[in-house]
Structure 1
């Protein structure tokens, strides 16, 4: 297995954000329970020597190109929410850091029913019933919200409510959760423009083509502080349907699923996930727009 090289520093912000276009949206808006595992038990046979990984004694993890806040630099650095999460899960399962290998994959590879080149993938993948027919999910490790980003010097910089944004040109990522959330929040009171990637929408926002962009709030915080510093997140949209939750992805009926879920559950119970969210995701104090 190969270790993924660090992302070149010259890579454009729009390209970085564009990589997230598929990963945070839901196919049908439904939240599914983690899929059942194969024969593994959550309380037994979870040591590295007993786990049916692709390579004995090694945990191979799939991810896309790194971008904040999920990955800071190369995934093997342990910097960024999902990189730190993977190493915490690996440690819970008994793996040393050097036993974790990274495999660069596309989002399509992650959610397809084909045999995977990884044991698990960490790629901001929403748990849905449709996807759970093709892959296994771990217990959820994050409940996501949709944030609204505006330009610091734009007409809507002081927006504090949904009503304040009526009449605005709102960008969303096509066929993703942001589209459903925006339509539910404003209906016909705004002009919604779909973009193929979040980075395209943020570029349109900074150029004045649109007035606001809706995307995953944690991604939006990173976009406004790292990649597009002349923008800000003014709030989140009301939830639409079931909460959108992210899970680690495994092969359908993987013998690893129960153990990986048990590890995520243990990290939730002992407060590790809360610590990682606080450290890497800076959205706790962003309030929902009324």
Structure 2
């Protein structure tokens, strides 16, 4: 396992912690594919030697600051859910591990309509209609939920239902799915406090400024076990609208989209995605707050 100091920095307040979830005004969308292109029956029909990547014979992957559980250390190490996912997709397309090249990009560069410096990007990017106007998405590889994190020594450490948190001050990430989910869950029964980044909210939680923090449950598990060990995830919120799904990002109308989607579909069909979720994500046993 890679050293963790870099990851702790990645969870600092200046980083958005990969909470690239759609905001309240974003609508989930079906994964976009290249115009006029139907995904092949399986990625076996897509050969690396024939794929029009930026560099022939190389799959260039964009990612931003690494943090658990998505990346454990250097993305090239293959540890962490999205790092492992990328190498599985690459394998289905016929690329050896040494043919995968990583490049550092910002989240804004990933979702903008600008010319891409990567073939695919893997950075917890929610599929939305708005973003699909600027980029392509692969088939979804994860449906996420919003988790509620509390301090182990706080007044709400024993919360098991939404009513137990009535009157609490709830931190969320501004303009992200956590905001809409929290407002739907509690309405006027809680004081929802937006933060510019999840790290800011978690710092506020540990200092007692807020009573709970809402964020992607898998990231919340990592936050409570790696970065803020005196906190715990007590449950997840009911879904707010359509389920939030993550997809790999490609340039708009990329000739690679259909093949990348076919690779993700194969990983889902043969159980590989389930194995990756079991290995790297630890949220399966976290129940929804009633």
TM-score with structure 2 length normalisation? 0.94
Shift of 1:30: 1.8
Alignment match, 1:142: 142
Structure 2 Cα separation of the partners of residues 139 and 33 of structure 1:
8
Change (3 A) 1:16 1:84: farther
> How many residues are matched?
286
- The answer for the alignment partner of 2:178 in structure 1 is 178
Partner of 2:22: 25
- The 8 Å contact of residues 75 and 83 in structure 2, kept in 1 or not, is answered as yes
Aligned mates of 2:19, 2:159 — CA distance in 1 = 28
1:242-261 alignment, distance < 5 Å: 242-261=242-261
CA contact (8 A) 2:8 2:227 kept: no
Structure 2 contact 147–217 (Cα < 8 Å) conserved: yes
Deviations 1:46-89 (A, max 9, x none): 10111010000000000001100000010000000000000000
| d(CA) in 1 for partners of 2:55, 2:61 | 11
Structure 2 portions without partners, runs of 5+: none
Which of 171-180 and 22-31 deviates more?
22-31
Instruction: Tell me the distance in 2 between the aligned counterparts of 1:203 and 1:95.
Output: 41
Matched, 1:133 2:133: yes
Structure 2 match to 1:213: 213
CA distances 1:124-148 after superposition (whole Å, capped 9, x unpaired)? 0000000000000000000000000
For residue 50 of structure 2, what is the aligned residue in structure 1? Answer: 50
Q: Is the 8 A contact 1:24 1:176 kept in 2?
A: yes
CA distance 1:211–1:41, shift in 2 (3 Å):
closer
Task: Give the match for residue 33 of structure 2.
Answer: 36
Question: Is this contact kept in 2: 1:25–1:178, CA < 8 A?
Answer: no
> For 1:184 and 1:243, how far apart are their aligned partners in 2?
14
RMSD: 1.9
SS of the residue 1:214 aligns to: strand
- Gaps (5+ residues) in structure 1? none
Worse-matched range after superposition: 43-52 or 205-214: 43-52
Match of 1:15 in 2: 12
Any conservation in 1 of the 2:26–2:130 contact (CA below 8 Å)?
no
Alignment of 1:150-229 (within 5 A): 150-229=150-229
